[in-house]
Amino acid sequence: MQKDTKNGEKPQYKKLIIEDSVYKTLYTEKFEKKTKWEKPDERKVYSYLPGTIIKLQVKQGDKVKIGQPLMIFEAMKMMNTVKSTQDGVVKDILVKPGDKFPKNHLLMEFE
C-alpha cells in the first residue's frame, strides 16, 4: 500500500490514465488485483450462493423450459432450487451431487 519514500529507494511509479491525462503514481494492492469485467454469458448458469449440490433434476441433452427446476443445492442450512431463466437444451452439467461450490461457480451450460 502506501510506501514511505524515506528509505532512499526510488519507488516504481506506474501510469494511471484519467480523462486522457497520464499520471505517474503508485497502485494500491486492491487496484492491482482487480479483475477485468466481462459481459455475462446468458448460456451459463452460475451459483448465486455458496453451497452443496443435493440433486440434479435435468441431464445433458434435456430440453428445458423457462422456470423449470434444474437442481437443488443446500446453502446456509436451506434447500434452494436453481430454476431455468430460459428455454433451451442442456449442453453440459459441471457439478454432481455432493459437490461443494463457491459463489459465482459455473454449474451448467446451455446450448
Partner 1 sequence: MPIKNKILELQKRRELVQLGGGEKAIEKQIAMGKLTARDRIESILDKESFHEYDLFVQHDARDFGMDKKELHGDGVITGTGTVFGKPISIFAQDFTVVGGSLGRMHAGKITKIMDHALKMKMPLIGINDSGGARIQEGVNSLAGYGEIFFRNTIASGVIPQISVILGPCAGGAVYSPALTDFVFVVNNISKMFITGPEVIKSVLGEEISQEDLGGAKVHSHITGNAHFYAESETECFEQIKKLLSFIPWSNVEKAQKIAPKPPKTKAKIENVVPEDPKQPYDVRDVVRCIVDDSDFFEVQENWAGNAVIGFGRVNGETVGFVCNQPLVLAGVLDVDSSDKIARFIRFCDAFNIPLVTLVDLPGYLPGVDQEHAGVIRHGAKILYAYSEATVPKVSVVLRKAYGGGYIAMNSRHLRADFYFAWPGAEIAVMGAEGAAKIIFRK
| Chain residues 25-84 in contact with partner 1, contact rule CB under 8 A | 25-31, 34, 37, 50-51, 75-76
Q: How far apart are the first and last CA of the chain?
A: 45
Question: Do the Cβ atoms of 108 and 90 come closer than 8 Å?
Answer: yes
β-partners of residue 18 are: 21
Among 7, 9, 21, 111, which residue interacts with partner 1 (rule: CB under 8 A)? 21
Nearest-approach distance from CB 107 to partner 1, in angstroms: 15
User: DSSP secondary-structure letter at 86?
Assistant: S
Which residues are near partner 1 by CB under 8 A?
Answer: 1-2, 5, 13, 16, 18-31, 34, 37, 50-51, 75-76, 100, 102
